Amino acid sequence: MNTFRVTHPILFWIIAVPLGLIAAFIALTIALAVAQHPGGGVLVIVLLAAYWVPTIIAALRHHQVGMVAVLNALLAWTVIGWVVALAIACGDRRRGVVEVHHVVPPQP
């Protein structure tokens, strides 16, 4: 995500700001609904933390944070999207290595 932010700064903000506003609106709606009940404030914090666990893990591992954050923001509410984001965040941090072997035919 850092390279995307550097190479396409305007596009990054065009994507990041609306996603942030959508996430904030959803969080505020849930917070207002749950906070009306006793102990609701703690429940809101726990729910938001649980919702963003894949993004938090990806950020701690420095591993495809942007992709996981977008997937988490847009599809985590489906539960399947949350599981996929978590799988990506917990996946292997190393990039695949491709080995190329040149075979030279024997000389007659």
Distance, CA of 2 to CA of 12 (rounded, Å): 10
The pLDDT of residue 76 is: 84
Average pLDDT score over residue span 9-20: 71
Is the per-residue pLDDT at 96 higher than 70?
no
The pLDDT of residue 47 is: 80
Is the per-residue pLDDT at 1 higher than 60?
no
The pLDDT of residue 39 is: 73
Which token pair is 46? 């726990």
Distance, CA of 91 to CA of 89 (rounded, Å): 6
> 34-89: per-residue pLDDT in tens?
777 777 777 777 888 888 899 888 888 876 788 888 888 888 878 888 899 999 88
Average pLDDT score over residue span 25-42: 74
The pLDDT of residue 20 is: 75
The pLDDT of residue 2 is: 56
DSSP state at residue 79: S
Q: Burial level of 69, CB count in 10 A (0-12/13-18/19+)?
A: buried
